[in-house]
Amino acid sequence: MRSLTTLDTGAIAELRSRDEFFWLDLHDSSVETVDQLRDVFGFNELALEDSREFGQRPKVDDYRDHVLVVYYGVDDGEPVEVHCYVTGQAIVTLHRDSCWTLTAAHDRLARVDPRSEEEAVYRVLDALTDSYFTALETLAEEIDDLEEEASTSIDPDIRVRIFALRKRLVALRRVVGPQRDMFTAAGGTIDRLPGLDVDQAHDYFRDIHDHLLHIADIIDSSRDLLAGALDLHAAAVNQRVNQVTKQLTLIATIFLP
Residue 64 Cα to chain centre, angstroms: 26
- Asked if 80 and 74 count as a contact pair (C-beta separation under 8 A), the reply is yes
Residue 229 has pLDDT above 70, yes or no: yes
Q: What is the CATH number of domain 2-255?
A: 3.30.460.20
- pTM for the whole structure: 0.83
Classify burial at 257, counting beta carbons within 10 Å of its beta carbon; exposed 0-12, middle 13-18, buried 19 or more. exposed
Alpha carbons 53 and 74: distance in angstroms, whole number: 20
Alpha carbons 155 and 152: distance in angstroms, whole number: 9
Helix (H, G, I), strand (E, B) or coil at 217: helix
Helix (H, G, I), strand (E, B) or coil at 112: coil
Confidence band for 83, pLDDT divided at 50, 70 and 90: very high
pLDDT tens, 170-226?
Answer: 999 999 999 988 877 655 555 555 555 555 667 778 888 899 999 999 999 998 888
Q: Quick one: residue 66, left, alpha or beta (phi over 0 = left, psi -120 to 50 = alpha)?
A: beta
pLDDT tens, 123-179?
Answer: 888 899 999 999 999 999 988 888 887 777 777 788 888 889 989 999 999 999 999
Residue type, 60: V
pLDDT tens, 2-31?
Answer: 888 889 999 999 998 998 889 999 988 889
**Widest pairwise Cα distance in the chain:** 100
Please report, for residues 5, 133, 134, 136, 249, the alpha-carbon distance to residue 202 in angstroms, rounded to integers and kept in the order given.
28, 23, 26, 27, 70
Q: Taking CA 120 as the corner, what is the angle to CA 123 and CA 70, rounded to the nearest 5 degrees?
A: 65
pLDDT given at position 199: 59
